[in-house]
Structures are given as C-alpha cells and as structure tokens.
Amino acid sequence: MEQSTLADALKMSVQVALGAWDIQNSRLVKLIESLPEGRLSDEIAPGKNTGVYVLGHLVAVSDNMLPVLGLGERLFPHLDEVFLTNPEKSGLAKPPVSELMANLHAVNKRLAEGFATLSPANWLERHTAVSEADFAKEPHRNKLNLLLNRTGHIAYHLGQLVWLK
C-alpha cells in the first residue's frame, strides 16, 4: 500500500477500537438508566455481586486507565478500597448510585479528551503497567491492547448487569 493509504488504514484500525470502547460504555449507561430506582442495589443473582458493586468496580477500573495510558492522574482513587481491593461483602459503605454515575461520566469524559491527544502511532506504544524491558520482548502489550482488554471487561460485566432488567 502507499504511505497515505497505510496511514489511513492505521487510523481506521484505531478508530474501530475506540468505537468498540464507546459502544460498550453507551450500553452500560443506557442499561443503568433503564433500571427502576433502587434496582441496582439488588444482587444480580442470588449470592452474587450487587449492581452497585459492579458499577463502582467498572468506574474504578476505567479511572485507572488514565495513569496507565499516560493521560493524567486518577480522578477517584478512593473507589479502589470499596470496589477493587475488597469484595462486595466487605461491609464498606458504597457511594450512592447518582455519585457513581457522575464519576463514570467524568472518567469517560476525561478519557475521551485523553484519547483525542493520542496519534494512531501513540496507541502502539507502551503503557505504564508494562516495563520497558518487558515491552521490548512483548510489543503487543501496548495502549491499544489495554483499550481492547478494558472494553472486553465492560462487556463481561454488562452480561451480568443485564439480568437486573
């Protein structure tokens, strides 16, 4: 292919990945907004996590993408203790759903702003969760890979949250 065609193709491949990220996030927001008031506090299935826990977990994981992708500091590091370090049954108080949803929108906005600063080539660079030495051996552990991984993670939990409908 010619150089311009190659550049366009690379750009498109990144756009498709960003589109997949957007779709999973849109589905998440749409699903949660479709649930009746209070429904998210229920266990998704008997003995399983509540919807609130899964939502907080997803916000914390997305928030963590900011430093890992080199896009800035965490916005809500306090979420980790309740939603990442500890399981549902920890007894730790959860923030209200309205606060978590505001957090989710803020994180996704900040991520979108950060994504817009990355060139297609930047997406194939190392993310901060892999060392320079490891990246030299495993160049697929790049930012694009992390994006796809996190996109799949949202889809995974969406498959659970949908049962609250």
Among 29, 92, 112, 121, binds a copy of itself (CB under 8 A): 121
Footprint on residues 27-56 left by a copy of itself (CB under 8 A): 44-46, 48
Does the protein bind a copy of itself through residue 15 (CB under 8 A)? yes
Distance CA 59, CA 32 (A): 13
Cβ-based nearer residue to a copy of itself, 76 or 150: 150
Cβ-based nearer residue to a copy of itself, 75 or 158: 158
Contact residues for a copy of itself, defined by CB under 8 A:
1-3, 5-7, 9-10, 12-17, 19-20, 23-24, 44-46, 48, 120-121, 123-124, 139-140, 142, 144-145, 148-149, 151-153, 155-160, 163
